[in-house]
């Protein structure tokens, strides 16, 4: 995979998945703009790339505002002359059940994930259209946005919204040869450490232990580096025909998520009354009700 002619911005790339994405893009030859809110973390990320003979520069700023989005694009252009790839990865968590969630809990997560994705993509789209050389936009989603998760109202809303925007942007930017895709990763990070089911595997990864096949295959759960190849592939010329997709990745597994589809339809002359629905729901519609949340398989040792 050769990205030697590409310039990429990766938000939230000081650590975890974002850092893995930035390092993999740089290893393929891309020049990378690293972003984090912590200067020390951002500088360490840049050093990890340059020490491996890559090229990178840091922007220390919180994602969310239009000003940060424009700064990221301007830094790519002023430093490397162009912008070809945007990966919107920056995120935070403020987990709690809905009756305890504060306005600040909700707004903080929405601002970074949803608004931050919007502002960064808007700024990048403007630049990429001006360059008239096409581009790659990759927005990071989550299984929580696809299926919901207890205690994550704000995060679920943001991640579901991101995939909805990706589908729209893929249509709006197609004529400019700009592809837009979502990646739905699962990996051992500080974020997944908060999920009790995953914590033992996160702890094992931190100890340097190899994750068992059950984790890597049945759970599609691995290291951040396991998820990076999908990002680099979607950033490449090889993925020029792929757009509007939600691609899952984790451990040994890559998937394509379906778009929401109607699964059953019923018709009543003149429309449905509440009583008519009550009469037939259990037999016509009930069997097709959809599940919510992730359904984890039972570990073999259990």
Which pLDDT score is estimated for 301? 66
* Buried/exposed 232-265: b ≥16 CB within 10 Å, e otherwise: bbbbbeebeebbbbbbbbbbebbeebeeeeeeee
Q: Are 226 and 249 in contact (CB under 8 A)?
A: yes
Chain mean position to CA 22: 14
Which pLDDT score is estimated for 210? 83
Annotate 230-261 with DSSP letters as a single string: HHHHHHSGGGTT--S-EEEEETTEEEEEPPP-
Structural domain includes residue 297? no
Structural domain includes residue 129? yes
Question: What's the start-to-end Cα distance of the chain, in Å?
Answer: 41
List all residues 6 or more positions away from 273 whose beta carbon is below 8 Å from its beta carbon. Answer: none
Cα–Cα distance for residue pair 171/162, rounded to 1 Å = 15
Which pLDDT score is estimated for 70? 98
Which pLDDT score is estimated for 302? 54
Query: Among the options 21, 80, 155, 201, which is catalytic?
Result: 155
Cα–Cα distance for residue pair 15/40, rounded to 1 Å = 11
> 166 is in which domain, residue-wise?
7-257
Structural domain includes residue 147? yes
Q: Look-up: residue for tokens 């394509």?
A: 256
Cα–Cα distance for residue pair 195/218, rounded to 1 Å = 16
Structural domain includes residue 101? yes
Q: How far is CA 187 from CA 143, 191, 249, 253, in A?
A: 11, 9, 9, 11
Structural domain includes residue 267? no
Q: Are 128 and 134 in contact (CB under 8 A)?
A: yes
* CATH at 206: 3.40.50.720
Of the candidates 39, 40, 3, the one whose C-alpha atom is nearest the C-alpha of residue 21 is 3
Strand partners, 32: 8, 56
Is residue 21 annotated as part of the catalytic site, yes or no?
A: no
Structural domain includes residue 266? no
Report yes or no on whether pTM surpasses 0.85: yes
Residue 58, helix vs strand vs coil? strand
Cα–Cα distance for residue pair 259/219, rounded to 1 Å = 21
Structural domain includes residue 213? yes
The first and second tokens of residue 113, run together, are: 């994930």
**How many domains are there within the chain?**
1
Cα–Cα distance for residue pair 220/186, rounded to 1 Å = 7
The first and second tokens of residue 229, run together, are: 């190849």
pLDDT in tens, the chain (302 residues): 899 999 999 999 999 999 999 999 999 999 999 999 999 999 999 999 999 999 999 999 999 999 999 999 999 999 999 999 999 999 999 999 999 999 999 999 999 999 999 999 999 999 999 999 999 999 999 999 999 999 999 999 999 999 999 999 999 999 999 999 999 999 877 777 777 777 788 787 788 888 888 888 988 888 999 999 999 999 999 999 999 999 999 999 999 999 999 999 999 999 999 999 999 999 999 999 999 998 888 887 65
Structural domain includes residue 216? yes
Which pLDDT score is estimated for 164? 98
Q: Where are the beta strands (DSSP E) in 41-112?
A: 55-60, 85-88
């Amino acid at each position: 995979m050769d990205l030697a002619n590409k310039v990429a911005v990766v938000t939230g790339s000081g650590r975890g998945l974002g850092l893995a994405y930035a390092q993999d893009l740089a290893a393929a030859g891309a020049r990378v703009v690293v972003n984090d809110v912590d200067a020390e973390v951002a500088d360490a990320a840049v050093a990890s790339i340059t020490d491996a003979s890559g090229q990178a520069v840091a922007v220390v700023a919180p994602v969310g505002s239009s000003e940060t989005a424009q700064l990221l694009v301007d830094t790519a252009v002023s430093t490397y002359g162009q912008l070809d790839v945007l990966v919107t990865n920056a995120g935070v968590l403020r987990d709690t059940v809905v009756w305890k969630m504060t306005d600040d809990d909700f707004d903080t997560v929405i601002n970074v994930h949803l608004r931050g994705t919007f502002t960064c993509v808007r700024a990048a789209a403007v630049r990429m259209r001006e360059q008239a050389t096409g581009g790659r936009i990759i927005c990071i989603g989550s299984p929580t946005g696809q299926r919901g998760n207890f205690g994550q109202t704000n995060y679920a809303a943001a991640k579901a919204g991101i995939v909805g925007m990706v589908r729209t942007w893929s249509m709006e930017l197609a004529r400019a040869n700009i592809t837009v895709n979502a990646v739905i990763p699962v990996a051992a990070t500080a974020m997944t450490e908060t999920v009790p089911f995953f914590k033992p595997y996160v702890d094992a990864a931190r100890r340097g232990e190899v994750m068992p096949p059950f984790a890597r295959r049945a759970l599609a759960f691995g290291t951040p580096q396991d998820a990076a190849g999908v990002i680099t592939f979607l950033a490449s010329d090889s993925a020029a025909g792929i757009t509007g997709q939600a691609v899952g990745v984790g451990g040994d597994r890559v998937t394509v998520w379906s778009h929401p589809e109607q699964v059953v339809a019923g018709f009543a002359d003149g429309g449905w009354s509440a009583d008519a629905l009550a009469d037939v729901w259990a037999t016509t519609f009930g069997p097709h009700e959809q599940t919510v949340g992730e359904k984890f398989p039972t570990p073999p040792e259990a």
